[in-house]
Amino acid sequence: MHVPAEVQLIAVIFLLYLYDCIVLAYHNEAVAHRLPAGYRVAFPRNNATFGKRLLIRLPLITPFYPAYRLVWSLCPSPDAATPDAAWVEAFRARDAALFARLLPGTLLLALGVLALMPLGLYFLPILYVLALLPFVYLLILFQLYQLARFRADYPLPREKFWALALEGLICPPSAINLVRKVSLNLPIAVDLVAFAEALLPPETRRQAVSGVVERIGENLLFVEDMNAPQVKQAQDYALRLRTKFNLPEDPTGRGAF
């Protein structure tokens, strides 16, 4: 079966973009992403790849909203507390600024790379489609300029900034995800439970904390010495979370007491 070269190129564009929507997260990480209705937390799948687990973000939504990599711990620091109002206000301001500064270019890039170029490749001679490339690269350069201009607000390591820039210039479909990539690489000073308490609505907060408790229980299933101090600390922490957030009891009993 012969597949026209134009169709193959269209498939490559979409496959590159879908591949770029995959996040690799460690077992003690989750991703909080902002949607119009508020933040949502997603945990990685159980399958491991080089020590990390796959987390696939929604390809039609995630380019336009920030996402944050958060960690949870079996034995968190006793003095860990919910962030205060000043921290929450500063976080929301940075989140909104990143979204506003990069959203226009993201929308135009998505339109050009995922809509106009595929349609042009299918219906028009390839030379007409290649005429879009200068505009696509101008948009990418504009996005990188915006990011460099406000770099003080987004403390990315220098090497990470240049890696994102090079990746976007080499592979335009990956430049669509710049908002998500920048936010995923920003350091967050609080853990997942504290983030949930500060920024998530009650039902979503319970779901996120329930995910943490469930994973603590999964970790305890493989423990040989249930009397080890670290195990007791993890069990106590899981019990405190269940009590504080009114979560159902653990049917295994290994993380509940």
Q: Between the CA of residue 151 and those of 12, 96, 148, 181, what are the distances in Å? A: 32, 15, 5, 14
CA-to-CA distance for 143 and 154, rounded, in angstroms? 14
Residue written as token pair 């989140």: 95
pTM for the whole structure: 0.84
pLDDT tens digits for 225-245? Answer: 777 888 888 888 888 899 988
- Read off the amino acid at residue 17: Y
**Bigger pLDDT: 257 or 153?**
153
Report the pLDDT averaged over residues 98-105. Answer: 91
For 111-149, the pLDDT digits (tens) are 999 998 888 888 877 777 788 899 999 999 999 999 988
What is the rounded CA–CA span in Å between residue 223 and residue 214? Answer: 15
Helix segments in the chain, DSSP class H: 5-20, 85-111, 117-123, 126-130, 133-149, 158-170, 172-175, 178-184, 192-199, 202-220, 229-244
Partners of residue 24 on adjacent β-strands: 54
Instruction: Report which of 168, 218, 249 is spatially closest to residue 44, judged by C-alpha positions.
Output: 218
Domain boundaries, the chain: 5-184
